[in-house]
Amino acid sequence: MATKKSGKGEQFLTYKGKPLVRSGDTLYYGNVYDKYVVMMQIKGSTKIKDADVAGTVQVQLLSTDNDMRVRDRVIKKTEKEGLYNAIDIGSIWLERALGEQ
């Protein structure tokens, strides 16, 4: 993972060259200007020592087409145990979807 600066001087964490942005218990992976992005929602977490560790994570491959209804934008979805498994499947889905453009 690396950190990239946006045009406004903000820094974004990147994974496999694509932005990974967190807002509360929701993570977005991918560039919003591409045709698809991945949204990951942490549904449960466990406290291990001083850290909260993600448990169940819902993963959705979403279309960024503003002309579509919100519920029709969901292309694929699943639930995975742990953040690593969620990011792994999300990155595979995103790579394949963007490769088919």
Residue range 2-7: mean pLDDT, rounded: 57
Confidence of residue 4 (pLDDT cuts 50, 70, 90): low
pTM of structure = 0.83
- Which residues form the domain of 59? 21-99
Domain count for the chain, please give it.
1
CA torsion sign for 99, 58, 70, 6 is negative
- What are the tens digits of pLDDT across the range 8-53? 556 789 999 999 999 999 999 999 999 999 999 999 888 888 888 8
Whether residue 33 lies inside any domain: the answer is yes
Whether residue 14 lies inside any domain: the answer is no
Whether residue 40 lies inside any domain: the answer is yes
Residue range 81-101: mean pLDDT, rounded: 92
